[in-house]
Structure 1
Amino acid sequence: MSAVDTTTPARPRTSPAVAPRRGPGALARDTGIVLVRELRPVVRDPFSVLFGLVQPVVFLALFGPLLVGSLGGTTTGQDVLGGNVWQWFVPSILVMTTLFGTSTTGANLLFELQTGAHERMLVAPLSRSSLLVGRALKEMVPIVAQSVVVVLVMLPFGFALHPAGAVVGLALLAVFGVGIGSLSYALALAVRKQDWMFWVVQQTLIFPLMILSGMLLPLETGPRWMQVASDVNPLRYVVDAERALFAGDLGAATVGWGWVAAVATAVVGLAVGIRTMVRSTD
């Protein structure tokens, strides 16, 4: 009679979870992976980029002539707008396009939460910050394409292009867009059980920020309380910096303040976004 084998069967080995690699190089690699993944639907459907041109063109076609008619011919208007309405207004439209595009990053996340795609991304060996930066930069790719088209369209109307300032201006918008996109991401995670709240909060905040930035109308002629409120609005400094950069004045003090506002927005956005993401997975 053979002896009974009482040894405990060996458990199958499981592969340990692969932790995301650390360091700037790893972050850049992870961000590139997320960016490429997010851009694939855009490549398959380029009409979405073309459709995104409608809004800035409408503002230029309808709002621009009103500025020309109301402020362009007055002494006050010439002083405020610097003598060229389009040189003042076109950079504002580019900032507005960036603000609208990156602030809707959370809407795409809400869809991924419904399909389970977000959970699959969380278990991938990617850093949390790369998920935020990659998604925000994805919104910047079509925005840059739209910005180039807008600038080219406005050249025959007297808009002067300064290539160096334009390149720095787009880089500044990319940094600012990462911050806004990360905050949008955090908002989507916070209201994922009531996704309709995302649009309520987004629309409630975005328009006061736009008006108090002097993006569409100069605040110099507005009431004092609006001017004071604009001093604490980071978007105002980004708008002022873009106007200086697209005018070719790279050494203006407003450019430095614009970078401070953009970097601060990016740092706060990433901090809030990562913290919200970690809490949502606990």
Structure 2
Amino acid sequence: MKFARDTWLVFQRQTQLLLRNPVWVFVGVFQPVMYLLLFAPLLKPALNAPTQAEAYKIFVPGLLVLLAIFGGLFQGFGLIAELRAGVIERSRVTPVSRLALLLGRSLRDVVSLLAQAVIITVLALLFELRVFIGDLLLAYLMLALIALMTSAVSYGVALKVKSEDALAPLMNTVAQPVLLLSGILLPLTFAPGWLQGVAEWNPFSWAVDGTRALFAGDLGNDKVWQGLSIIAVLAAAGVAWAARQFARSVR
């Protein structure tokens, strides 16, 4: 009960800080919206899709996974600012659970990224995208797990490096191959065999395939449950590792 209360208090505080400056929600969604408006219209001829709606069923799920990955990976910059301001240092004298300090922040990030995902989905509906609500909610669960994992890992790395100058290139170095090997912008079925083989080791490629299956209405596709299982395990591992970093930094 105490852990749940601590997590809620941290989440509530972090959400209040976000709502005081909600512009960051729209800043975060700006780049995906540009992809949606300026890149997606090119996909129908490129993919030989029968309709623009079918092209969006391929592109929008990848775009949402992109949002969850990048949105989570760069949350650590805010934590470094808190470290510099002494916020984390002052947390040492509080009885709040160290895991709650991490989880409250990460859940705030999950909610923020899901709000951005809803905005993108609504915009895609204007382009004739259609998806069953149950499949969409399951896809959002996949996104939430991705955001939880990447956010927690970003916080853990931030506590390690304690510098924006080190965190930025590190996150970019990780994010670029993850992006290219997950088939986010275009399905990897168009890739050569060796590239598809390498991508099999990228857990986010499973998440993208599973999310695309959900948008296609194929709930029984094995990739849906494989993707959810893989991401859930990685999210738990990421939270456990990051919580350990919080415990070491806030004693």
Q: CA RMSD in A?
A: 2.1
> Could you say what secondary structure the match of 2:126 adopts?
helix
Distance 1:36 1:28 in 2: 12
Does residue 277 (structure 1) correspond to residue 246 (structure 2)? The answer is yes
Q: 2:121 aligns with which of 151, 176, 193?
A: 151
Q: Which residue of structure 2 aligns with residue 207 of structure 1?
A: 176
Is the Cα–Cα contact under 8 Å of residues 49 and 142 in structure 1 kept in the other structure?
A: yes
* Residues 245-268 of structure 1: CA deviation (Å, up to 9, x unaligned): 233333321111111121121122
* Greater per-residue helix proportion: 2
1:116-135 Cα deviation digits (max 9, x unpaired): 00122343222222222221
> Is the Cα–Cα contact under 8 Å of residues 183 and 269 in structure 1 kept in the other structure?
yes
Q: In structure 2, what is the equivalent of residue 112 of structure 1? A: 82
Q: 1:239 aligns with which of 201, 205, 208?
A: 208
The match for 2:3 is 27
Q: 1:111 to 1:67 in 2, by over 3 A?
A: same
CA shift for structure 1 position 278: 3.0
Gaps of 5+ in 1: 1-24
SS state at 1:213 partner: coil
1:160-197 Cα distance to aligned partner (Å, 9 max, x none): 121111112112221221111111011101111x4311
Relative contact order (C-alpha < 8 Å, sep 6+): which is higher?
Answer: 2
CA displacement at 1:281 relative to structure 2? 4.8
Which among 160, 178, 197 is matched to residue 130 of structure 2? 160
- What SS is found at the alignment partner of 2:129? coil
Which residue of 210, 213, 218 corresponds with 2:187? Answer: 218
Checking the alignment, whether the CA contact within 8 Å between 1:132 and 1:178 is kept in structure 2 is no
Kindly provide the CA deviation profile for residues 84-140 of structure 1, in whole angstroms up to 9, marking residues without a partner as x.
110111111111111111111211110000000012234322222222222112112
Shift of 1:55: 1.0
Uncovered stretches (5+) of structure 2, i.e. residues with no partner: none
Residues 102, 246 of structure 2: 8 Å contact kept:
no
Name the CA distance, whole Å, in 1 between partners of 2:32 and 2:164: 27
Aligned residues: 251
Q: How far, CA to CA, are the matches of 1:230 and 1:174 in structure 2?
A: 22
Give distance in 2, aligned partners of 1:40 and 1:85.
Answer: 38
Q: Distance in 1 between matches of 2:159 and 2:70?
A: 19
Residues 132 and 217, structure 2, Cα contact 8 Å, conserved in 1: yes
- Counterpart among 27, 52, 57 of residue 51 in structure 1: 27
Aligned match of 1:258: 227
For the 8 Å contact 2:109–2:148, the answer to whether it is kept is no
Write the deviation string for residues 45-98 of structure 1: whole angstroms up to 9, x where unpaired: 22222222211111112221232232235xxxx7xx9x8110111111111111
Q: Tell me, yes or no, if structure 1 residue 68 matches structure 2 residue 44.
A: yes
Opposite residue 131 of structure 2, the aligned amino acid is L
Aligned CA distance change for structure 1 residues 281 and 144 (closer, same or farther; 3 Å): closer
User: What amino acid does structure 2 have at the position aligned with 1:205?
Assistant: V
- Distance in 1 separating the partners of 2:105 and 2:125: 31
Q: Contact 2:99/2:247 (CA < 8 Å) preserved in 1?
A: no
Return the TM-score normalized by structure 2.
Answer: 0.92
**Which structure's CA Rg is the greater one?**
1
1: CA distance between counterparts of 2:3 and 2:44? 46
The answer on whether the counterparts of 2:153 and 2:238 sit within 8 Å (CA) in structure 1 is: yes
User: Displacement of 1:213 after TM fit?
Assistant: 0.6
Give % identity. 36
